[in-house]
A and B are shown apart, each in its own frame.
Chain A
Amino acid sequence: MSNSELSLDLVYKSDTILHELQKSPMKLPSPLEMDLLCALGSREVSGRELAKRYESEHGKSISYGSLYTTMRRLKETGWVEMREDEEVDRRVRYFKMTGHGISALQSLIRAHSIFNQSEVVI
């Protein structure tokens, strides 16, 4: 397969994945939403722990306001579910990715890698 055919194939694949994502009732996530989804993983994590994880992964801090606002938006799109709990002396909000969120994240990562490949081929 020549380079041009390969690049066309990759672009077609990424187009198909993005089309699938856009057919769902949700919009594509912003870079911050994507980073937070990646940092969240599949386990249940408290807001403070998520902020720390984001800081360690990206090397820059995120304010709690921005974190809770973004996670609320992700919850409204159905990618994340939240639960409130009382700890010893304070309230904590826990976040967990839904099955729909995990599958959407996988598709996004796949689309991203195909885009990168097509960039290299072109």
Chain B
Amino acid sequence: MKNDILAQLVAGKNQLSETLKEIHYRIGESRASLEACENTLQPALDLYGDTLDCKRQEQRLKYLKEKLATLSRRHSELIERSFNIDLKIQEIAKIMQESSLERVLKTLRSILRWSRSPRITDHARRPLLILSVFRWLVPRKLRPEIDLVIEDLLEDKCEMLEAKKSPLFVTLILWWGALRTIFDYTLAGCTSILKRFAPFAKVFFGNSK
């Protein structure tokens, strides 16, 4: 009886050890297959990373091209203006040679008028000038925001000029943007002042029941 039980136990132990061996073997197999999968997927992951890099580079290139176009347009504008100024200077020189002071003054006045008039290259001057004056009326910590608004409006102006919009349209849009910005900041200032006085109002009018 005792021997039978021992024999059964030994048989069970052997069976268990075999099962354990099989499990270890399966685990080894699974690891090997996992490594094989990883090795197979690695080139695909690398390729995906390369593709992402390429896309980023393409976007960067596109952005740089746009910037280059903007810069070249500004460059041409500057050349045009400098050419106009050269012409005016030549005109002045010619008149000065004729030694007619009155005519020189008249030409100088016309140049001043020309520099103040809204030309195609100079639409943004007045609304943005107003904004830059308004910049000094807002608190110091908000001034960079006004600078950002001016930069954004300038960028809008460049886009509109590139899209061949009429000078009047560009000027009106810039005025609209500048005035709305001024209104928003004024409103925000008034609201913050009212919020600061709200506790006093509660003290005076809150317990009227």
Contacts and interface: CB of A to CB of B under 8 A. Distances in A.
Interface string B170-195: 00000001001111110010000000
A64 B181 contact: yes
A54 to B, nearest CB: 13
A89 B149 contact: no
B147 interface: yes
Contact of A68 (B148, B156, B177): B148
Contacts of B155: 48, 90
Nearest to A72: B145
Interface residues of B, number: 21
A19 B181 CA distance: 35
B128 to A, nearest CB: 12
A93 B148 CA distance: 8
Contact of B152 (A64, A66, A84, A88): A64
Contacts of B71: 88-89
A72 B192 CA distance: 14
A65 B151 contact: no
- Determine which residue in A51, A72, A90 has the highest number of CB atoms from chain B within 10 A of its CB, and name it: A90
A65 B181 contact: yes
B104 interface: no
Contacts of A63: 177, 180-181, 183-184
Nearest to A62: B180
Interface string A81-96: 0001001111111000
Given A65-B182, A66-B181, A91-B151, 19 more contacts: A47-B148, A47-B152, A48-B156, A63-B177, A64-B153, A64-B177, A64-B181, A65-B181, A65-B183, A66-B184, A68-B149, A69-B145, A72-B145, A88-B67, A88-B71, A89-B67, A91-B147, A92-B148, A92-B151
Interface of B: 67, 71, 144-145, 147-149, 151-156, 177, 180-185, 188
Interface of A: 47-48, 51, 63-66, 68-69, 72, 84, 87-93
